[in-house]
Amino acid sequence: PPPFTGVWMGDSKLCAIGVHCGNHITSHGLALNCCTDLTWFEHIVPCGLEGKGVTSLSHELGQHVAVSHVLEPFLDSFQEVFDCTLVSSEEP
């Protein structure tokens, strides 16, 4: 929900998106919670947002969702949305 960044399911964050700028270097990234152990978030205030929670695809869908099941469709969608071609330096 605005003004918070990321992907949300109600009051729970499903995907964190971040950008950091410092020392003339910009870095960015995201964390999509697929099958994350959500109990770790009980010990912190995730993203510094009081009263907000964290969720995962597995929790929301009620079944185990492995990163390997999500990676290819996620990367395909990323390329489509950002009109780009992703190149990997690693062998699959």
Helices (H), the chain: 57-61, 67-82
Among the listed residues 34, 35, 47, 84, the single catalytic one is 47
Residues 6+ apart with CB under 8 A from 5: 16, 17, 18
Residue 88: CA count within 13 A, CB half-sphere: 5
Residue 31: CA count within 13 A, CB half-sphere: 12
47 is catalytic: yes
Task: Show which residues are catalytic.
Answer: 47
